[in-house]
Amino acid sequence: MGLELTPTQFTPGDPTDPQTLTTGDPRGTYEALLTYDGVSLIQVACVGDVSLSALGNGGLHGIKHVIA
Protein backbone atom coordinates (compact mmCIF):
# COMPACT_ATOMS: atom_id res chain seq x y z
CA MET A 1 0.00 0.00 0.00
CA GLY A 2 1.30 3.48 -0.77
CA LEU A 3 0.17 7.01 -0.12
CA GLU A 4 1.03 9.98 -2.30
CA LEU A 5 0.26 13.42 -0.88
CA THR A 6 -0.01 16.28 -3.34
CA PRO A 7 -0.17 19.69 -1.67
CA THR A 8 -2.42 22.10 -3.52
CA GLN A 9 -0.21 25.12 -2.88
CA PHE A 10 2.77 23.70 -4.84
CA THR A 11 3.13 23.75 -8.63
CA PRO A 12 6.04 21.79 -10.11
CA GLY A 13 8.33 23.48 -12.62
CA ASP A 14 7.58 23.38 -16.34
CA PRO A 15 10.40 21.40 -18.00
CA THR A 16 9.64 22.71 -21.53
CA ASP A 17 12.94 23.52 -23.25
CA PRO A 18 13.38 26.08 -24.63
CA GLN A 19 11.05 28.25 -22.56
CA THR A 20 8.57 30.49 -24.37
CA LEU A 21 6.38 33.40 -23.28
CA THR A 22 3.43 31.02 -22.82
CA THR A 23 5.10 28.21 -20.83
CA GLY A 24 5.03 28.03 -17.04
CA ASP A 25 7.77 28.91 -14.57
CA PRO A 26 10.67 26.42 -14.88
CA ARG A 27 11.39 26.69 -11.14
CA GLY A 28 7.90 25.84 -9.93
CA THR A 29 5.94 27.90 -7.42
CA TYR A 30 4.93 27.58 -3.77
CA GLU A 31 2.28 29.48 -1.87
CA ALA A 32 2.63 29.16 1.91
CA LEU A 33 -0.41 28.53 4.07
CA LEU A 34 1.06 30.98 6.61
CA THR A 35 1.30 34.72 6.17
CA TYR A 36 4.82 35.95 5.41
CA ASP A 37 5.11 38.19 8.47
CA GLY A 38 8.86 38.18 9.06
CA VAL A 39 8.42 36.37 12.40
CA SER A 40 7.00 32.95 11.50
CA LEU A 41 9.54 30.24 10.62
CA ILE A 42 8.92 28.68 7.22
CA GLN A 43 11.21 25.76 6.36
CA VAL A 44 11.54 24.24 2.90
CA ALA A 45 13.31 21.02 1.94
CA CYS A 46 14.52 20.80 -1.66
CA VAL A 47 15.70 17.92 -3.80
CA GLY A 48 17.73 18.82 -6.88
CA ASP A 49 16.90 17.36 -10.28
CA VAL A 50 20.05 16.61 -12.27
CA SER A 51 18.25 15.34 -15.39
CA LEU A 52 18.91 17.03 -18.71
CA SER A 53 16.52 17.82 -21.57
CA ALA A 54 16.96 16.42 -25.09
CA LEU A 55 18.89 19.62 -25.90
CA GLY A 56 21.34 18.98 -23.04
CA ASN A 57 19.97 21.79 -20.87
CA GLY A 58 18.80 21.61 -17.29
CA GLY A 59 20.62 19.83 -14.51
CA LEU A 60 21.05 21.57 -11.17
CA HIS A 61 21.07 24.97 -12.91
CA GLY A 62 17.65 24.34 -14.46
CA ILE A 63 16.28 25.55 -17.77
CA LYS A 64 17.00 29.10 -18.86
CA HIS A 65 14.12 31.55 -18.47
CA VAL A 66 12.75 33.18 -21.60
CA ILE A 67 13.63 36.86 -22.06
CA ALA A 68 10.82 39.00 -23.44
* Residue of 68, 57, 43 whose CA lies nearest to 13: 57
- Give Cβ neighbours of residue 15 (< 8 Å, ≥ 6 apart): 26, 53, 58, 63
pLDDT in tens, 10-66: 787 787 777 888 888 887 887 777 777 888 777 777 777 777 777 777 777 777 777
What pTM was estimated for this model as a whole? 0.52
